[in-house]
Amino acid sequence: MRDGKLGVAVHGAGWVAGAHVASWLKNPRVEVVSISDIRRERSQQLAERYGLHCAIREDYGEVLADPAVDIVDVTGPNHVHTEHGIAAAEAGKHVLVEKPIALTMEENRALREAVAKAGVKSLAGFCLRWNPAVQTIKSLVESGAIGDLFYVETDYWHGMGPSHHAWNLHSKKKTGGSAMLLAGCHAVDALRWLAGDEAEEVSAVSNNRKGLFEYDANVVAVVRFRTGIIGKVSALFDCEMPYAFNMDLAGTEGAIRDDRVWSKKLFPGQTGWTRCATVLPDSGDVHHHPFDGEINHFVDCILEDRESHCNLADAYRTHELCMAIDRSIEEGGPVKLPLEV
């Protein structure tokens, strides 16, 4: 800490890092002290964009050796997240890792273990937990507004192709992962978060209709949770439509469809859906993402010495479910969780 502020190092100075920096700058209890990237000019451009006079680096070792750095924000590409996250934890830094946090179960486990061993605070980039519509749904379900939840459905529908800025990395299996790991993980995380439960079995099918990605671009999975809740989750990259993130929930006394609520408890005599004025997760633009809430929450957790509901141990479960979905596609049948490595 310097002048009572936590020092933040942003490692990977691309698109999402720009939105993260904007959010870090709004929090008065932190200071961005370092920006790094394997391409120095990227870090320089990002610092200039926000008028920052912080350290500009290419060498991650230097970042981790800097005593002014309390928090490392891992924002490079998918395939380096685990390695960067483990190194940050081992250096005693609190760590925010963008999604996906891992591309294999071995990585997933290693990251969870490194964070637990180091005793640092951690956060995964599942920013949708701070989206106002997601928060509203979560709070309605927890208040019993729709009775006993028995069905949850979430979809990540985002048409992507070669014009995507990170196409070379995202379209390949080794660096993108899979449709579920690359971006469907937001829907998988929302499914778990809204169900408030862990999956015990999953069955998935997929196709690759346009043949643009190295892996199947369109995936749908049905999930059975431990308490008997059933669910469906999908990721579509081949779709031709505006970005959509759908959330449907059914309970014994009501239902929720995105921003529409049907609740016998809340609205006796209701004759149609009641719409909540809220912000839906309806954009793929990082500047629309609720990083302010996510980052403020992480800073609170560090300063108040408490664990986040979205820490890397929790994100392990979301990634495990993504990998179980991928395994079900590969094996052509249901897969039970937890997964053995």
Ligand X SMILES: NC(=O)c1ccc[n+]([C@@H]2O[C@H](COP(=O)([O-])OP(=O)(O)OC[C@H]3O[C@@H](n4cnc5c(N)ncnc54)[C@H](O)[C@@H]3O)[C@@H](O)[C@H]2O)c1
Distance from C-alpha of 66 to C-alpha of 82, rounded to nearest angstrom: 20
Of 177 and 254, nearer to ligand X (C-beta) is: 177
Nearest-approach distance from CB 209 to ligand X, in angstroms: 23
Of 46 and 114, nearer to ligand X (C-beta) is: 46
Of 184 and 231, nearer to ligand X (C-beta) is: 184
**Residue with the CB atom nearest ligand X in the bound state:** 14
Nearest-approach distance from CB 174 to ligand X, in angstroms: 13
Of 58 and 331, nearer to ligand X (C-beta) is: 58
Distance from C-alpha of 219 to C-alpha of 321, rounded to nearest angstrom: 13
Nearest-approach distance from CB 229 to ligand X, in angstroms: 25
Nearest-approach distance from CB 113 to ligand X, in angstroms: 21
Question: Per the structure block, which two tokens stand in for 112?
Answer: 């969870």
The residue ranges that bind ligand X (CB under 6 A) are 11-17, 37-39, 42, 75-78, 80, 98-99, 125, 127, 165-166, 286, 289
Of 56 and 337, nearer to ligand X (C-beta) is: 56
139 Cβ neighbours under 8 A, 6+ residues apart: none
Nearest-approach distance from CB 114 to ligand X, in angstroms: 18
337 Cβ neighbours under 8 A, 6+ residues apart: 198, 199, 200, 201, 202, 320, 321, 324
Nearest-approach distance from CB 164 to ligand X, in angstroms: 9
Instruction: Find the angle CA(265)-CA(266)-CA(268) to the nearest 5 degrees.
Output: 70
Instruction: Find the angle CA(139)-CA(306)-CA(317) to the nearest 5 degrees.
Output: 65
Q: Where are the alpha helices (DSSP H) in the chain?
A: 15-26, 40-49, 60-65, 81-90, 105-118, 132-142, 167-170, 173-176, 179, 185-195, 291-303, 312-331
Of 110 and 222, nearer to ligand X (C-beta) is: 110
Distance from C-alpha of 225 to C-alpha of 218, rounded to nearest angstrom: 23
Question: Per the structure block, which two tokens stand in for 164?
Answer: 């995507």
